[in-house]
């Protein structure tokens, strides 16, 4: 028996590592898109252009980290765009009224606002067991509505946002945007935690088989709640960064971000029905979508194509996952067949 199963198992684990190497695949596609565009338009490889690529993807990647944690548990957070918008305006407003507030406090407050909304989302989802799709869709509208009431047609005045705060939004260190550095640090921490701690492995178990997770005694409710809090907190931090980047904030900041974020996460190899995927993959997904976006601009292709290509990429990513899954199960079945013959 062992003599026939061993090679089959080897093949399977190689397919498995291929699955895990999804990040590598996306990175290669990014390089290809980047290379091809540079051939067309040499300025695409300029320092400024690369900085724009990174800074442009940073916020979506940051929100993608939290979204990954939520989607891995077989839930979804649709409220991140609204949370980003509300946080951005409230932090800006805070600076308007307290011009001497330390810049760092702006980020702390933004994160706290997001965490609060995330906690409400998580609480409603886990206690009432209303599907998170509905809960966070409602939150999307409610938070945006509250935002509109507070903003009341005004916008933040860039002059009252401290220089040191705004610097994080557009300045670079050693040629790398601050924005990208902050987001990279978050991805690094989250990526490491998602691999190495019990609580985060529980997230994967919950999304992979919710019933079995409950039977195994995992604290399902607490874990899902935490995922929503983190997602909200990162969206809130994203709001502060958004303010630092653009300084002028009205009631529409971050509109439609949730779909960008979910697209990036799915393109990045996070299974939409939970159980698998990494935050690094999600971040690379965000970078890929932004690279394609900018490449179209640089190649002078109408930006109308942008969304169509993003959509096609999304479909392609999901079809690729299905295809891989089918291949793996077919392999396994033939491996099982071999064993029965022996």
One of 180, 213, 227, 287 touching another protein (CB under 8 A): 213
Residues 5-34: x/- map of binding to another protein (CB under 8 A)? xx--x--xx--x------------------
Asked if residue 318 binds another protein (CB under 8 A), the reply is: no
Give φ, ψ of 173 to 5 degrees: -130, 125
CA angle at 274 for the pair 17 and 23, rounded to the nearest 5°: 35
- Which is closer to another protein, CB of 14 or CB of 42? 14
The H or E element spanning position 176 is strand 176-177
- Which is closer to another protein, CB of 307 or CB of 333? 333
Asked if residue 276 binds another protein (CB under 8 A), the reply is: yes
Residues 188-207: x/- map of binding to another protein (CB under 8 A)? -------xxxx--xx-xx-x
Q: To the nearest whole angstrom, how small is the minimum distance from the Cβ of residue 111 to another protein?
A: 24
Q: Measuring CA to CA, which residue among 107, 70, 89 is closest to residue 232?
A: 70
Asked if residue 339 binds another protein (CB under 8 A), the reply is: yes
One of 164, 252, 307, 329 touching another protein (CB under 8 A): 329
Q: Measuring CA to CA, which residue among 79, 62, 85, 75 is closest to residue 226?
A: 75
- Which is closer to another protein, CB of 116 or CB of 219? 219
Residue with token string 């940073």: 58
Judge contact between 231 and 118, C-beta under 8 A.
Answer: yes
Asked if residue 98 binds another protein (CB under 8 A), the reply is: no
Judge contact between 258 and 140, C-beta under 8 A.
Answer: yes
Judge contact between 143 and 117, C-beta under 8 A.
Answer: yes
Three-state DSSP class for residue 292: helix
Q: How many positions of this chain bind another protein (CB under 8 A)?
A: 39
Window contacting another protein (CB under 8 A); options: 1-9, 120-128, 181-189, 252-260? 1-9
Q: Measuring CA to CA, which residue among 263, 317, 315 is closest to residue 286?
A: 263
Say how far apart CA 121 and CA 135 lie, in whole Å: 7
Alpha-helical segments (H) within 41-131: 47-72, 80-97, 103-128
Q: To the nearest whole angstrom, how small is the minimum distance from the Cβ of residue 264 to another protein?
A: 20
Asked if residue 151 binds another protein (CB under 8 A), the reply is: no
Asked if residue 220 binds another protein (CB under 8 A), the reply is: no
Binding site for another protein (CB under 8 A): 1-2, 5-6, 9, 12-13, 16, 195-198, 201-202, 204-205, 207-209, 211-213, 215-218, 271, 274-276, 325, 328-329, 332-333, 336, 339-340, 342
């Amino acid at each position: 028996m062992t003599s026939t199963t061993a090679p089959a198992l080897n093949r399977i684990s190689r397919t498995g590592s291929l699955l895990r190497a999804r990040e590598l695949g996306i990175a290669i596609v990014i390089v290809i898109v980047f290379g091809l565009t540079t051939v067309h338009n040499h300025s695409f490889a300029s320092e400024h252009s690369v900085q724009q690529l990174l800074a442009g993807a940073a916020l979506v990647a940051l929100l993608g980290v939290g979204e990954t944690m939520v989607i891995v548990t077989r839930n979804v957070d649709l409220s991140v765009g609204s949370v980003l918008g509300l946080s951005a305006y409230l932090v800006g407003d805070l600076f308007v009224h307290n011009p001497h507030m330390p810049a760092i406090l702006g980020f702390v407050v933004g994160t706290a606002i997001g965490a609060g909304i995330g906690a409400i989302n998580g609480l409603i989802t886990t206690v009432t067991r209303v599907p998170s799709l509905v809960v966070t869709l409602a939150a999307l509208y409610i938070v945006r509505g509250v935002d509109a009431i507070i903003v009341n047609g005004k916008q933040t005045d860039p002059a009252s946002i401290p220089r040191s705060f705004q610097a994080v939004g557009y300045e670079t260190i050693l040629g790398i945007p601050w924005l990208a550095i902050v987001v990279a640090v978050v991805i690094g921490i989250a990526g490491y935690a998602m691999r190495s701690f019990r609580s985060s492995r529980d997230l994967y178990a919950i999304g992979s088989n919710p019933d079995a997770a409950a039977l195994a005694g995992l604290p399902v409710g607490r874990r899902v709640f935490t995922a929503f809090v983190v997602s909200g907190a990162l969206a809130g931090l994203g709001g502060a960064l958004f303010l630092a980047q653009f300084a002028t904030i009205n009631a529409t900041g971050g509109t439609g971000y949730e779909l960008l974020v979910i697209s990036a996460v799915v393109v990045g190899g996070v299974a939409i029905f939970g159980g698998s995927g990494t935050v690094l993959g999600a971040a690379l997904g965000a970078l890929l979508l932004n690279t394609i976006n900018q490449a179209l601009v640089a190649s002078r292709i109408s930006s109308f194509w942008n969304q169509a290509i993003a959509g096609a990429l999304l479909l392609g990513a999901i079809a690729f996952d299905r295809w891989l899954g089918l291949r793996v199960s077919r392999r396994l079945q033939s491996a099982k067949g071999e064993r029965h013959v022996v």
